[in-house]
Amino acid sequence: MSMLFDILSTSGILFIVSCGLLLIFGVMKIINFAHGGFMTLGGYVPLLITQMDWNPWLSLPLAFVMGLAFGAIVEVLIVKPLHSRPLDAILATWGLGIIIGQIITLIFGRGVQFAQSPLEGTVSLAGTDYSLYRLALVGFALVIGLSIGAILNGTRLGLITRAVTMNESLARALGVNSALVRLSSFAIGAGLACLAGTLITPLSSLDPNMGVPWLTNAFMLAMISGTSLVSLAIACTVLGAAQVLVSVYVSPILGSLTIVVLGALALRIRPQGFARG
């Protein structure tokens, strides 16, 4: 039973971490290697909030807005000039991740720190005790997923974003401002990354490089999902389950490899990802 909760919460966490990357990958077809850096940035927001004695729940919107702002700046300065050089965009965003890490170190110090969880304690469900916060994250994943879905399907920005995702040149020929779409997608993706960082730090610890281990899992999931949020949710559930099962029955170390290895193999079979249609 506890295993089921593990799977659910792991899938939820993976979804929260990857959705921002998926948005950027779907629209711009590049992988934002600064994703880890944005997550780290978001992770330090609760620390700031605690230092300033504000309500810990404030860190969520604050992180998102911060991510939006930084994401927009990065898109204009770094990503746009590299439009035609996707491999170089990967490198440049990785470099950006390094810069973010160093700036954080300069401000907060390089040591490991800890953030308080806004939701303490356990909850008794179906016979076992389980961490309340982990379960809450599943809820967050649903809320975030549904919100993005609502924006994509219900707003004009969402509509032109989907158009650019499917066929950018055609969309531009029809008068869509693809530069605006790219800017907004990157900014929102960065915002989601920061939000993800804020949400996951209470689970473990905080240091200038905490986002990096999530990066590989996130982009593997994003690449498998192609361009669809639903695919992402499915991928997170399937691969999240695989990770938990391997971690428990084989070893936690090989478990952490399951997503990247299975992802690489899946992409070999179906290079364009598993999005339907």
Partner 1 sequence: MADSGASPAVSLDSNKGWNRSNSGFVLLVGAVSILIASPWILPEFMQTILIRACLYAVVAITVDLLWGYTGILTFGQAAFFGIGAYATGLVFTHIGFSPTMALFALLAGIAVSMLIASLVGILSFYPGATPLYATVLSLVLPIVVTQVIFSGGTFTGSSSGLTGYESFNLSIAGWLWLCGGFLLMCTVLARRFVQSDTGRLLIAIRENESRCDYLGINTSRIKILLLVCLSAVSSVAGFLYACYGMVVAPEMAGFQFGTEILIWVALGGRGTILGPVIGTLLIDVSSAYLSGDFPFVWKLFLGLSFVIVIVVMPKGLLPAFIQLVRRGKFTPGPSQQGRLQVAGERRLDGLASQGNLALSVKGVQRRFGSLRVLKDVNFVARHGELLSLVGPNGAGKTTLMRCISDGRERSDGEIFLNDHPIGKLSPFECVKLGIGRKFQTANVFHDLTVFDALAVARTRLDRPSVWERTRVISLPLPAMSIVQTTGLDALLQMPCRLLSHGQKQALELAMVLALEPNILLLDEPTAGLTKPERTEIGRTLTKLAEEHKMCVVLIEHDLDFVCDISSRVIVLHQGEIVLDGSVDEVVHSELVRDIYSGSFGMPEDPADNVKEAS
Partner 2 sequence: MNVSMWFRASLLASASLVAMGTQAAEPIKIGMPIGLSGANSVVAPSVVQSAELAIEEINAAGGVLGRKLQLEVADDGSGAAGAQKAFNSLIYQKKVDVLISMQTSAARNAGLPIVTRGKVPYIYTSFYEGRSCNPYMYVNAWVPDQQVAPIVDFFMKSKNAKSFFLIGSDYAFGRGMLDFTKSYIGKKGGKVVGEEYLPMDGSDWTAVINKLKTAKPDAIITSTAGGAPNVTLTKQLRAAGINLPYGNLAVDEGTAKDMGADAEGIVISGSYLTNIDSVKNKEFLAAMQKKFGANLKTPNDLSVPQYEAIYLYKAAVEKAGTTAVDKVIPALSAVSYEGPRGLIQMNKQRHAPLTMYLGQVQKNGSIKLLESFQNVEPGNQCPNLK
What CA–CA distance (Å, rounded) separates 253 from 26? Answer: 30
Query: Is position 72 an interface residue for partner 1 (rule: CB under 8 A)?
Result: no
Query: Is position 126 an interface residue for partner 1 (rule: CB under 8 A)?
Result: no
Residue 129 interacting entry, from partner 1, partner 2, none, C-beta within 5 to 8 Å by type: partner 2
Residue 271 tokens, joined = 């290079």
CB of 127 to partner 2, least distance (A): 11
Residue 126 interacting entry, from partner 1, partner 2, none, C-beta within 5 to 8 Å by type: none
CB of 75 to partner 1, least distance (A): 13
CB of 266 to partner 2, least distance (A): 23
CB of 236 to partner 2, least distance (A): 15
Query: From residue 22 to residue 61, what is the string marking binding to partner 1 with x (rule CB under 8 A)?
Result: ---------x------------------------------
**Kind plus residue range of the DSSP H or E element containing 125:** strand 122-125
What lies within 8 Å, CB to CB, of 59 at 6+ separation is: 45, 46, 48, 49, 198
| Cα angle value 223/276/268 (rounded, 5°) | 40
Q: Where are the alpha helices (DSSP H) in 109-205?
A: 132-154, 156-166, 168-173, 178-200
Tally the C-alpha atoms within 13 A of residue 38's C-alpha that lie toward its C-beta. 35
Q: Are 196 and 39 in contact (CB under 8 A)?
A: yes
Binding residues (CB under 8 A) for partner 1: these are 31, 77-78, 81-82, 85-88, 90-92, 94-96, 98-99, 102-103, 105-106, 110, 212, 216, 219-220, 223, 251, 253-254, 256-257, 260-261, 263-264, 267-268, 271
